[in-house]
Amino acid sequence: MKESQSSQVVPSQETGATESRFDTVRRQVGLLLGPAVFLLVLATPFEQLTPEAHRLAAVTSLVIIFWTTEALPLPVTALLGPALAVMLQVAPVREALAPFANPLIFLFIGSFILAQALFVHRVNERIAYGVLSWEFVGARPTRILVAYGALAAFLSAWMSNTATAAMLVPIGLSLIAFMEKEGKMPKNYGTALMLMTAYGCSRGGMATPVGTPPNLIAIGMLSEQLDVRISFVEWMVIAAPITVVLMVIVFFYLNWIGQTGVKEIPGADLIITERKTALGPWKRGEVNALIACGVTVILWVGPGLLPLLLGREHAVTQAVLSAIPESVAALTGAVLLFALPISKTQRTTLTWKQAAQIDWGTILLFGGGLALGTMAGSSGLARAVGEGITSLVPTNEVVTLTFAAALFTVVLSETMSNTAATNIAIPIVISIALAMEVNPMVPAIAAGLAASIAVVLPVSTPPNAIVYASGRVPIIQMVKYGLLMDAVGVVLVPTLVLIMMQMTGQVNLF
């Protein structure tokens, strides 16, 4: 997504050079290692695998290495995997590429276009400055920090957490610069404010299916491989309370890190008010973008309440859910942006040129992961992997697998894109659960949510990368403060998933 000039964050020269050297070496290793492992797997006999599963194992090995090292751009690798699978006759082309037309792909497209409209018309900035200018917040550093984090979490639940971080970081940097100019702010407060962006955006994105790609990957793979549908509201019932608990911990933790020793920083509220005033009165484009988003949210949440009120098998529930699935709701909102005029000269709220700037790479990455996961199931590779791993695991309890799935996904997410990590982890988790004969929904959802709690390294999540690029959080501090957040998340996320799914009747632990 193209950012406005004010939203761009330029890394320091030292930061950029170190990161560039690391990325270069990592890619070179991947370009050599990937093909070598691919040929090695092809040449090694695996009697327990069918010929198709054997060839897919080689393709999957190559894709995992390329995703881990980013030897090629992640979306390119996502296209390479299904293409190689077709060439090696793992599956016919229609079957291999069908997941790229999965309804969740269109949910991605619609929600990304809606987020783009909010970004283009600066609705997110208006909301941010509006909240920060509340009298309750004022010039109190603790309240600014909490309000800033709450904004990050709320906005990320409904729009791209990357776009949210790109918008909030410049706001935070301007506040830090003002406070430093006044000479009344410890350095740790600036670090806490920047980390609040990363932690708030990542954890806020967990709350809804459209908050971050790992959520939809988990939902999509459960649907594709198990024919299990999780509605928008059903996801929120599980994930939103988890987000709230994690954010409360983040508030206390970062407030402790960023202690200022003062109750107020005179003038901080004035700069926020000035920025809010500079936006001027509400414009027609902003109102139209909010209308389109509001209609979409109603269509997401309204039908999603029916399974909770009437039951999933009720005739009315089935009729409404089949008529207004989440993907159609998102597309309806996106279409409204092109139907609502701004003025006589501009007859659409969003132009196609603006809409086309959405993150197509993430969409392709999601499709490629679904394609490999689907073929792993149909070829028997997933079951073979699951049975092989379960033979090494001393238990077959859903609780143990749920904690292991969360830990596995967090470790993967710390070394690579959390979207790619989820594409790798979820199919493995589902195959292990099936081999263990336990409910795959619980560990799969825990793994999907856990992908968003990895905050130790810049590569872990897009908000981490944006915050690191600001130059305000050195890598040592990101690691130092992020390790505790990871440890807390690895314990809390699977625990809370188990509790919420027990309460909603999805799993019986007793």
What is the predicted pLDDT for the residue at 219?
92
Measured in whole angstroms, the distance separating CA 359 from the mean position of its chain's CA atoms is 13
Q: Which residues does 49 contact at the CB level (< 8 Å), separation at least 6?
A: 57, 380, 381, 384
Per-residue pLDDT of the chain (510 residues; tens, 9 = 90+): 333 333 344 444 554 555 577 778 888 999 999 999 999 999 998 888 899 999 999 999 999 899 878 889 888 999 999 999 999 999 999 999 998 988 888 988 988 898 889 888 888 788 878 877 777 777 778 888 888 899 899 989 988 787 788 878 888 887 777 777 755 566 788 889 899 999 999 999 999 998 888 999 999 889 888 888 888 888 999 999 999 999 999 999 998 887 766 677 666 677 778 878 888 888 999 999 999 989 998 988 888 777 777 777 788 877 887 888 888 998 999 999 999 998 877 789 999 999 999 889 888 888 888 888 888 888 888 778 777 776 666 666 888 889 989 998 988 888 777 888 888 889 889 988 888 888 889 999 999 999 999 888 777 778 888 888 788 888 888 888 999 999 999 999 999 999 998 887 666 654
pTM for this structure?
A: 0.80
Asked whether the beta carbons of 220 and 146 are under 8 A apart, the reply is no
In this structure, what DSSP letter does residue 472 have? S
Q: What gap in Å lies between CA 109 and CA 334, rounded to an integer?
A: 9
What is the predicted pLDDT for the residue at 186?
66
Asked whether the beta carbons of 65 and 27 are under 8 A apart, the reply is no
Burial of residue 38 (CB within 10 Å: 0-12, 13-18, 19+) is: buried
Which long-range contacts does 140-145 make (Cβ < 8 Å, 24+ apart)? 140/263, 140/264, 140/265, 141/185, 141/189, 141/258, 141/260, 141/262, 141/264, 141/265, 141/268, 142/255, 142/260, 144/175, 144/193, 144/268, 145/189, 145/192, 145/193, 145/196, 145/251, 145/254, 145/255, 145/258
> In three state form, how does the secondary structure of 324-388 look?
CCHHHHHHHHHHHHHHCCCCCCCCCCCCHHHHCCCCHHHHHHHHHHHHHHHHHHHHCHHHHHHHH
The neighbour count for residue 126, using CB atoms within 10 Å, is: 18
Please name which of 223, 161, 19, 101 lies closest in space to residue 462, comparing C-alpha atoms.
161
What is the predicted pLDDT for the residue at 345?
79
Q: What gap in Å lies between CA 213 and CA 37, rounded to an integer?
A: 28
The dihedral built from the CA positions of residue 303, 306, 311 and 314, taken in this order, carries a sign that is negative
What is the predicted pLDDT for the residue at 10?
43
